[in-house]
Structure 1
Amino acid sequence: MRVVVAVDAFKGCLSSAEAGEAVAAGVRAADPGGAVRVLPVADGGEGTVDALLAERPGCRAVARVVDAVGRPVDAAYALLDEGPGTTAVVEAASCIGLAQVDVGPDLPPRAGSAGLGLLVRHAVDHGARRVVVALGGTACTDGRAGAAARDGGVGPRP
């Protein structure tokens, strides 16, 4: 038997790769001779960078930015090796993710996207010619105003 395991993360418990390996262990226990391949997946939120780098050539980069409520946080993005120039895949959830903040009635007016702008700026400053932003799992409610103000002029102009 040949099985491909592609399981999204269990938020706050297991990454996609960890969940996939748990399923793969069950498949191997049921069929020790079977071939099992685990493919990490993500929906544009947490784990997007890890899922891409599991299957594409490139490297993980980390930048010190701010979270959705302005606290310092180390956020990740992928620098993919492709064609002329480097493409950065920026994971918004790694800096302004919902999982990083306490959710309550006071969050919406405070949650901003400045950290995302700083992360995009970091990627461009470190050689990215193209930037893809994965927007899943964010806490911000500012319509990207914070990112536009903090991206150093990289973002689209009105």
Structure 2
Amino acid sequence: MSKKQLEKAIFAGGCFWCMIKPFDTEPGIISVVAGYTGGHTIAPTYREVCSETTGHTEAVEITFDPTIFSYQQLVEIYWRQTDPTDASGQFADRGSSYRPVIFYLNEEQRKVAEASKQDLAESGRFKAPIVTTIEPAKPFYPAEEYHQDYYKKNPSHYNGYRQGSGRGPFLEENWK
């Protein structure tokens, strides 16, 4: 498979630790990298992003084979990892560095994301408005190595955090 056939997708849905596993385990996913995007500083650190001064949000960059797993399928997985009605962060993680965003890399991705958001809004699944933004991608900066594949490296802490942050219970209740 040549690199030309692979595509990328970028999603922000709160803590990036919890955004890796749902994508990482799907067929056709080549890699899922935790990182930072959407801000105005170059190569920010975790500490800088957490300070809420960089404009960046925690996100994942997914490299995938669209002949095996489509962008539409990725967007559907994305929604099921988030509370799309909360623009101020996700679950226990508050602030703009945890805001939910679909970052599109081309016009086709924008159209798919917008249509999917509209479908979700019209579904009646949530009483509150769908506030996840859809924005053009900016440079993506990989996070420090200890953040990569966190669910594999620290499964007990990952599982405890996922439940304790409120993410697990919310997803189980709202995305059955």
Q: Scaled by the length of structure 2, what TM-score is found?
A: 0.29
Q: State the structure with more CA Rg.
A: 1
User: Whose helix proportion is higher, 1 or 2?
Assistant: 2
Q: Name which structure has the greater RCO, CA cutoff 8 Å, separation 6+.
A: 2
Q: Scaled by the length of structure 1, what TM-score is found?
A: 0.31
